[in-house]
Structure 1
């Protein structure tokens, strides 16, 4: 706790930061879904057709699309885990701050 009785951690800022990470994860998931629809095997195969000459190119594009989608999923999951961790930190900090305030003679309303 700081000398003025306030916390070093601002719960509002913590919740806001967690929400930002959550929204980025959500947006990335939406982009990933659209990416998979537009570049999935079916879309690529339809785009290149079934010519013998296109099989190698089609295969390369499908492989690349799968690699990109896999990397995007990892980033999405990471952003989601960060948001979860921030929410836990925020919840734990609020509980700890309330408990410390009581130890120093303050009620939950901030009065002594």
Structure 2
């Protein structure tokens, strides 16, 4: 049977990668918002009466996209937090086991 080892340092790096992706999504969303807010969409389509239906659809789509990306960003942050907590717990368990085997 092979041994199983969890490296808390590697877990922390893994958590950092989730944090970085969440941050990148936040930055992309910040760039997305001004280009797709209602005013920008109205400016792009103009105020023709026949364009109102299309304009409304784009505004709704933009809002849905924003909510989806925000949800993904929060989810990635929660994953990172969980991995970091697991790394801390693993490190504490390793230290406790080490103390037991050293007779402390």
User: 1:63-108, CA deviations, whole angstroms, 9 ceiling, x for partnerless residues?
Assistant: 111111111111111100000001100111111111110000078x
Structure 2 residue 97 is the aligned partner of structure 1 residue 100: yes
Q: RMSD between aligned alpha carbons?
A: 1.8
For residues 72 and 92 of structure 1, the distance between their equivalents in structure 2, rounded to whole angstroms, comes to 30
User: 1:5-31, CA deviations, whole angstroms, 9 ceiling, x for partnerless residues?
Assistant: xx7111121011000000000001111
Change (3 A) 1:106 1:75: farther
Structure 1 residue runs of 5 or longer lacking an equivalent are 108-112
For residues 87 and 63 of structure 1, the distance between their equivalents in structure 2, rounded to whole angstroms, comes to 36
TM-score, structure 2 normalization: 0.91
Aligned ranges 1:1-112 → 2 under 5 Å:
8-105=5-102
Q: Provide runs of 4+ in structure 1 moved above 2 Å.
A: none
Please give the secondary structure, in 1, of the residue aligned with 2:99: helix
Write 1 or 2 for the structure with the bigger share of helix. 2
